Chains A and B, each alone.
Chain A
Amino acid sequence: MSDKIIRLENIVRIYQIGESQVQALRGITYSVNYSEFLAIMGPSGSGKSTLMSILGLLDRPTSGQYFLEGMDVSRLSRDEMAAIRNRKIGFVFQNFNLLSRTTALENVELPMIYSHISSREAREKAMKALASVGLKGWEHHRTNQLSGGQMQRVAIARALVNDPTLILADEPTGNLDSRTGAEIMDIFCRLNQERNITLIMVTHDPVIASYAKRRLYLKDGQIVGEEVAPGACDRAPASGG
């Protein structure tokens, strides 16, 4: 079991909206291996975003168990979840979610404020993370001076900076044109292959999903299919971003 970074046992998530209950997830049982690149696909309302929130410890399942690296994390407190997010999980969002009117460097340093790393060390690590996504020389630019692709690279650097074992990406190319999207996907491929970071990505774009080796299909809160095939990452090894 130790080769599984994620093990989900009958995960159910019910939202209470006024009087009515909405079943967003109806019993998901699934496992993810270390260093895997997984794409979760499905139409809107299929529960993929809910599943992402639970995987990212932003939300708790109504019932069922979630083991992250063998540890049951389905009943932790808010602060305990925050500590795990800080150390083990990196997030990349569709709309980048960078802090406005701050520099690229400050955005990348943000997670380290909450992990009590000295500011000198934080600066070094942030510089290194920005360089690894090809933003050397852009550290002191404000985020509103950057292009969409550059902003997403800053977001990836922020997700990387605390050396997570898991990166969760929610429609990471949704706001980018296809060429920039491909560049971002190249970076993801490299992180997955060279640094062995487990990647889970939610998308409804089949082209983007084709980068992943495993593809999981969700509908109405249930798993309706799984496909394992060599992804674009394997076919065309990353060229260096």
Chain B
Amino acid sequence: MRALARNKMRSFLTILGIIIGVAAVIAMVSIGEGAKKGIEERFASMGTNLLFVYPGSRSIRGVQSGFGGFTNLKPDDAKAIEERCDAVKATSPSISTRAQVVYANKNWNTQIQGTGEKFPEIRNWKVVEGVYFDESHVAAAAKVCVLGSLVRQNLFEDEDPVGKTIRINKIPFTVIGVLESKGEQGGFFNRDDMIAAPYTTVMRRLRGVDYINSIDVAAVSADRTGEAQRQIEELMRERHRIAPGAEDDFQVRNIADVAESAAESTKIMTILLGSIAGISLIVGGIGIMNIMLVSVTERIREIGVRLAVGARERDILLQFLIEAVVLSVTGGVIGIIVGVGASRLMKYISLFANINTIVTPESIMLAFFFAASVGIFFGYYPARKASKLDPIEALRYE
């Protein structure tokens, strides 16, 4: 152990690898956890009575069409669901596209979300300036729009946007309202970065199609979502003339399902980020093995003396193993401090302004035990080599 203190510089460089590895694991996992939390909060704020109808994949003559690749969901389906399912309170057809938006000398690329007039009610989303479009705007495919707060900020800053004209793909639209900010940090899918317009307008003027992407459905209450789901499935099978026993060409999913699949994808991202960081930890471990091998060679005489005065193989093995573990655990502790610091810092540095990070005790424990086991794993070979030395040769070694 004293040997470590004697070679301060060398010990520090050795544990630097572990410090970086552990810090990277903690910082990366904290990004993943932050994204997960953001998604959970978003779905929680959407309300628990929400359902979505998507076109389903269906095989046509053996060719499986991918999820969402269908064009068979029509605005009439939304109307029928609202009128004929008594567990359903309201529906809003949904179709989206991305477009370049221009106002005066500013422009911005954002998502154009085509919705029905009941969208604010269904999504529990207030209009803070002006108004949302109504039934007549939808019927007429009027060129009106309501801005998400981020778009409003980017195009208008302090100006009052209501009544102004912006160009979406060169088509002039009148701004009639602004949506409340959802106050999201998450940069991956920021809901304030969008413009809402009547779905009819998006279909005809921006996309030039006669189908919609999905239907937002609000059940009468949270405890009737199951009932609403069954009613919608029954109605849709009838409307789409699906024979009994044949597969659905649509999917009805409730908010919990959607939240779950979103959580699944952030989990994959977390694992991915974490394992890339984990590789640097292994590289750090190889550094420990390298330095332990050097240390064993330098101290062959010392090992010889220890063996001569009665050290058993186990004593020598433990001595060097403990040195390796002390190195990696010290690196682990410093790495945890650096990693937690880096995660905190990422929230404040402008470059990462949109990234929310959460450090969980699990990720700290994981990184720490991983570091300790790296020390044991990569320290074992040099330690074993030391313990197997022949005492006579070791004593004569120059």
Contact = CB atoms under 8 A, between A and B. Distances in A.
B309 A102 contact: no
Contacts of B305: 97-99, 110
Interface in A41-96: 53, 56, 58-59, 78-79, 82-83, 85-87, 91, 93
B223 interface: no
Given A110-B305, A114-B315, A58 B391 contact: yes
B309 A58 contact: no
Interface string A97-141: 111111000000011011100000000000000000000000000
B308 A58 contact: yes
Given A97-B304, A99-B302, A102-B2, A114 B309 contact: yes
B98 interface: no
A110 B392 contact: no
Q: Is the interface of B mostly helix, strand, loop or mixed?
A: helix
B191 interface: no
Contacts of A97: 301, 304-305, 308, 395
A115 B306 CA distance: 12
B309 A111 contact: yes
A111 B312 CA distance: 11
Contacts of A56: 308
A158 interface: yes
A85 B311 CA distance: 9
B392 A53 contact: yes
A42 to B, nearest CB: 18
A102 B5 CA distance: 12
Interface string B288-323: 000000000000011011111111111100000000
A68 B298 CA distance: 34
Given A97-B305, A101-B6, A102-B2, A58 B392 contact: yes
Given A97-B305, A99-B305, A114 B391 contact: no
Contact of A158 (B2, B309, B312, B391): B309
A56 B391 CA distance: 11
**Interface hub of A53, A99, A102 (most chain B Cβ within 10 A):** A99
Given A53-B392, A114-B315, A82 B2 contact: no
B6 A86 contact: no
B302 A86 contact: no
A86 B310 contact: yes
Contacts of A113: 311, 315
B308 A85 contact: yes
**Interface hub of A79, A101, A102 (most chain B Cβ within 10 A):** A79
A56 B308 CA distance: 9
A167 B371 CA distance: 45
A93 B395 contact: yes
Nearest to B3: A101
B303 to A, nearest CB: 10
B300 to A, nearest CB: 12
Given A97-B301, A97-B304, A97-B395, A79 B312 contact: yes
Nearest to A111: B309
Contacts of B307: 58, 82
Contacts of B2: 102
**Interface hub of B302, B309, B392 (most chain A Cβ within 10 A):** B309
B360 to A, nearest CB: 41
A100 B2 CA distance: 11
B309 A91 contact: yes
B6 to A, nearest CB: 6
A104 to B, nearest CB: 14
Nearest to A83: B310
A93 B305 CA distance: 10
B227 to A, nearest CB: 75
Contacts of B302: 99-100
B392 A83 contact: no
Nearest to A53: B392
Contact of B310 (A93, A99, A101, A111): A111
B313 A78 contact: yes
Interface in B377-398: 391-392, 395
A114 B312 contact: yes
A59 B306 CA distance: 15
**Interface hub of A58, A79, A98 (most chain B Cβ within 10 A):** A58
A78 B314 CA distance: 11
B310 A59 contact: no
Nearest to A107: B305
Nearest to B395: A97
Contacts of B313: 78-79, 82
Contact of A83 (B301, B308, B312, B391): B312
Contacts of A98: 305
**Pairs of residues from A and B, 7 with the lowest C-beta to C-beta distance, nearest first:** A86-B310, A111-B309, A79-B312, A114-B310, A82-B312, A58-B391, A97-B305
Interface of A: 53, 56, 58-59, 78-79, 82-83, 85-87, 91, 93, 97-102, 110-111, 113-115, 158, 162
Interface of B: 2, 6, 301-302, 304-315, 391-392, 395
Given A91-B309, A114-B306, 17 more contacts: A56-B308, A58-B395, A59-B392, A79-B314, A82-B307, A83-B310, A83-B312, A85-B308, A85-B309, A86-B309, A97-B301, A99-B302, A110-B305, A110-B309, A114-B315, A115-B310, A158-B309
7 contacts: A58-B395, A98-B305, A100-B302, A102-B2, A113-B311, A114-B315, A162-B310
